[in-house]
Amino acid sequence: MAVHIPPSRPRTPPHGVRGPAPHPVRRRAGLRVLIGTDTYPPDVNGAAYFTARLARGLSQRGVDVHVLCPSPDGPPQVVRCDGVVEHRLRSMSSLVHESVRLPLPPGVGGHLDRLLSRLRPDVVHVQNHFIAGRMLLRAARSRDVPVLATNHFMPENLFDYLKVPAPLRRGMSAFAWHDFCRVLGAVDHMTTPTRTAARLLLDKGFEQPVEAVSCGIDLGRFRPLGDEARDELRALLGIPDRPTIAFVGRLDAEKHIDDLISALPMVRPDDAQLVIAGVGAQRQRLARLAESEGVAGRVRFLGFVPNDDLPSAYRAADVFAIAGTAELQSIATLEAMASGLPIVAANAMALPHLVQAGHNGYLYPPGDTPALAAHLSRILTAPTARRDRMGRASRTMAAVHDHENSVARFEGIYRELARAHAGR
């Protein structure tokens, strides 16, 4: 439940958020954390969902959590939601993505100084090095507040949004990583979701140690159901009762969903269908591709699936497929695994951490649609007992990514940083 907190002053400052009373907030006996991010729900992406789940999880553990993020509709506001206080900065449309807004920098620096003075957080946790994250890091450093950063960044995930020409991408990537290392090299502790993502940072010139902490998933929400329940869910979702391949995520270029559609004519049984849950810039192009491949009747676009209904999208499927090549972890794949699905994934970035060939699924060379189709066919035509064994193996592998463990580790890092800072 969201509760809007009324402004404590007669008028809102021109470039800030309506905040608590102008006098300093009295310190709690417990831990207070200020999380800064440029993307937060209702934004639709993995980093936004992770940050919101982390904030709620910390609040449930008794941590006093504040989040600094862009306003979803422009004007600044302060909102309390699920025990978390959201300090929403004045924002504008990013123009490059329909669900992302940018905080307006003018005046934010002074506002952040006042906010830090009132909140006096024990730790600041930035989720990126863009506008809000960068400015909050700078403000925290000026007040000697310890800073943790978590990386969700890969330049390749931005190039299509920014319409960067292919010949310029290599140079732009090098510049982007240089900027990343320059800005976040000042933090006290760095985390990223997987060992692969940690090695990537070190390879790109980041000189501090990097700890791998899984984004985590809710094993209680994402869990297997029986065949009878699967049939009922297909009926509720309007999906024909056929062998079903699922993809859940943004419909954007770096996800390579076109590979899934191009592979479908080669998949057996020949009535297998692909169910795509999500929204994004590629929606119309993917629909045209399905038409040209002759499989439009076997590709189902569910559109945006509300978070409460998301477990049903996985449970209605027989196998989950992901073709992305820039995944630092892939929360969607972990949710599918927790739901008891075999996985077919591109052998790229962090996805090999989630698939053991023949155990819970298969990996295929990125872009090799015949290999993708062969692995999907192998699972869909396997005896039910074998497919169920693979699903149970996925569930077992997903269990180590329990969200409670991830939240506990982040709280532990905060306390370690706060103690080290207090002892200086």
Closest CA to 218 of 5, 406, 17: 406
The CATH number of whichever domain residue 42 belongs to comes to: 3.40.50.2000
Q: Which residues contact 165 (CB under 8 A, 6 or more apart)?
A: none
Residue 97: the pLDDT is: 64
In a domain? residue 222: no
Q: Are 117 and 123 in contact (CB under 8 A)?
A: no
Residues 276-300 have pLDDT tens digits of: 999 988 999 999 999 999 999 999 9
Residue 109: the pLDDT is: 79
In the predicted structure, residue 14 carries a pLDDT above the cut 60: no
In a domain? residue 267: yes
Residues 391-409 have pLDDT tens digits of: 999 999 999 999 999 999 9
| Confidence band, pLDDT 50/70/90 cuts, at residue 313 | very high
Q: Please indicate, yes or no, whether residues 121 and 208 belong to a single structural domain of this protein.
A: yes
In the predicted structure, residue 94 carries a pLDDT above the cut 80: no
Closest CA to 225 of 332, 341, 128: 341
CA 312, CA 234: separation in Å to the nearest integer? 9
CA 370, CA 376: separation in Å to the nearest integer? 10
Q: Please indicate, yes or no, whether residues 241 and 328 belong to a single structural domain of this protein.
A: yes
Residue 36: the pLDDT is: 97
* CB atoms closer than 10 angstroms to residue 23: 9
Q: Please indicate, yes or no, whether residues 241 and 352 belong to a single structural domain of this protein.
A: yes
Q: Please indicate, yes or no, whether residues 37 and 83 belong to a single structural domain of this protein.
A: yes
Mean of the pLDDT values across residues 82-109?
81
* CB atoms closer than 10 angstroms to residue 119: 23
CA 245, CA 261: separation in Å to the nearest integer? 11
Q: What's the whole-model pTM score? A: 0.86
Q: In the chain, how many domains are there?
A: 2
Pairing of strands 299-303, 273-277: parallel
Residue 183: the pLDDT is: 95
C-alpha dihedral (404, 408, 410, 416), degrees to nearest 10: 180
In the predicted structure, residue 151 carries a pLDDT above the cut 60: yes
Residue 167: the pLDDT is: 84
Residues 321-379 have pLDDT tens digits of: 999 999 999 999 999 999 999 999 999 999 999 999 999 999 999 999 999 999 999 99
In a domain? residue 58: yes
Q: Please indicate, yes or no, whether residues 188 and 83 belong to a single structural domain of this protein.
A: yes
Mean model confidence pLDDT for the chain: 90
| Confidence band, pLDDT 50/70/90 cuts, at residue 6 | very low
Q: Which residues contact 41 (CB under 8 A, 6 or more apart)?
A: 48, 49, 52
In a domain? residue 151: yes
Closest CA to 135 of 237, 26, 38, 256: 38
Q: Please indicate, yes or no, whether residues 209 and 290 belong to a single structural domain of this protein.
A: no
Q: Please indicate, yes or no, whether residues 189 and 142 belong to a single structural domain of this protein.
A: yes
Closest CA to 75 of 109, 37, 103: 103
Q: Please indicate, yes or no, whether residues 384 and 408 belong to a single structural domain of this protein.
A: no
* CB atoms closer than 10 angstroms to residue 128: 23
In a domain? residue 125: yes
Q: Please indicate, yes or no, whether residues 179 and 298 belong to a single structural domain of this protein.
A: no
Q: Please indicate, yes or no, whether residues 236 and 210 belong to a single structural domain of this protein.
A: no
Q: List residues bridging with 102 in a β-sheet.
A: 92
CA 55, CA 74: separation in Å to the nearest integer? 22
Residue 161: the pLDDT is: 67
In a domain? residue 221: no
48 vs 98, residue with greater confidence: 48
Q: Please indicate, yes or no, whether residues 119 and 158 belong to a single structural domain of this protein.
A: yes
In a domain? residue 206: yes
In the predicted structure, residue 69 carries a pLDDT above the cut 60: yes
Q: Please indicate, yes or no, whether residues 38 and 170 belong to a single structural domain of this protein.
A: yes
| Confidence band, pLDDT 50/70/90 cuts, at residue 310 | very high
| Confidence band, pLDDT 50/70/90 cuts, at residue 8 | very low
In the predicted structure, residue 15 carries a pLDDT above the cut 70: no
Range of the domain at 326: 227-400
C-alpha of 134 from chain center: 19
In a domain? residue 356: yes
106 vs 306, residue with greater confidence: 306
High-pLDDT (> 70) share of the chain, %: 92
Residues 173-224 have pLDDT tens digits of: 899 999 999 999 999 999 999 999 999 999 999 999 999 999 999 999 999 9
CA 297, CA 271: separation in Å to the nearest integer? 10
| Confidence band, pLDDT 50/70/90 cuts, at residue 5 | very low
Residues 246-265 have pLDDT tens digits of: 999 999 899 999 999 999 99
